[in-house]
Copies of this chain bind each other. A is one copy, B any other.
Amino acid sequence: MDELQLQKLIEAISKGELSLSEAAERINNASVENVDDFAKIDLDRKRRNGFPEVIFGQGKTPEQVAEIFSRLLEHSNQVMATRVNPEMAAYVTTRIEGIQYHARARILMVDKESGRQKIPGVAVVTAGTSDVPVAEEAALTAELMGNQVERVFDVGVAGLHRLMRHLPVLKAARVVVVVAGMEGALVSVVGGLLSCPIIAVPTSVGYGASFNGLAALLAMLNSCASGVSVVNIDNGFGAGVIASRINHLAER
C-alpha cells in the first residue's frame, strides 16, 4: 500500500463511502495483495529478462498444452513447452501458428522476437552424442531467454584432446553447462580448467550400474573441482534457466 492508495482510503472513510471495518478489511486484503505482488514481479521479470513462462508437457494432454500455450501467447512474446513427444507436437502445431518443434530437445517454441539481440556468454558442452537431446533442451531454453549459446558437443574425457581444442570457446563463456551421462567425469575436467560457474546436468545415458543417471549425479555432486553445482538428472531446461539468470546478471 503506497501513499496514494492510503490517501484515497482515508478520503473514502472521511466521505463516509467506506466504514472503518470495510477499510480495515481492504487494508488487510491489500496486504494479501502484497503477497500477490510475487506474481506481478514474475511478470516484471519476464518482460525485463526475457524469461517466458514454460509449460511442462509431460503428464498433460495435447489439448491442455495447446490451450495453455495459446493463452500464454497473449501475454508473452516467448512461449515454450518442454518434454513434448511427437504426438503431442503434431497436435499442437496444427492449433498454433508459427510454432516450432525441436524434436531432439522435445521442445515446442514460439519466439516472436527471434531477431532480437542476444547476450553472449553461455556455453553448453556434452560428453557424448547421446547427451545431445538434454543439451539441446538447455541450449534452446537459454536462447529463448535471450542468450547466445555456444554448443560444444561430444568432447568426453575418453578423448581429452577434443575438449582441449575447444577450450578457448569455453574460456570465453560466463557460464558453462556441462551435460554428461555414464560417469560424468567431464564436469570435473571442465571445472578444473575454467574459473566461471559450471552447471552440471547428469543424464540417464548409460546402462547397468549407471542406475538411470544416479552414477553421473553422484559423481557430479562429489566433483573435486570447485565452482560446480548440479541439477536433476536430464534436467536440461533447469540448467538453461540458471545459465540464463547468471548470464543476465553479468549484463545488469
Q: Which residues of A contact B (CB under 8 A)?
A: 1-3, 5-7, 10, 13, 20-21, 23-24, 27-28, 30-32, 34-39, 41-42, 45, 49, 51, 54, 56, 58-60, 64, 127-130, 156-161, 164-165, 174-175, 182-185, 187-189, 191-193, 195-197, 199, 202, 204-235, 237-239, 241-242, 245-246, 249-250, 252
Q: Does the CB pair B232–A222 fall under 8 Å?
A: yes
Q: A161 and B28 in contact (CB under 8 A), knowing A188-B185, A217-B209? A: no
Give the one of A39, A238, A246, A250 with max B CB within 10 A.
Answer: A246
Report B-chain residues with C-beta under 8 Å of the C-beta of A209.
Answer: 213-214, 217-218, 221-222, 232-233
| Closest partner residue, chain B, to A133 (CB atom) | B59
A32 to chain B, nearest CB (A): 6
In angstroms, Cα B30 to Cα A216, docked, is 34
Ranked nearest first, the 5 interchain pairs of A and B with the lowest CB-CB distance are: A31-B31, A208-B233, A185-B185, A229-B229, A215-B218
Contacts of A250 in B (CB 8 A): 249-250, 252
CB-CB < 8 A to A5: which residues of B?
Answer: 24
Contact of A157 among B3, B225, B232, B237 (CB under 8 A): B225
Given contacts A1-B27, A31-B28, is CB(A245)–CB(B160) below 8 Å? no
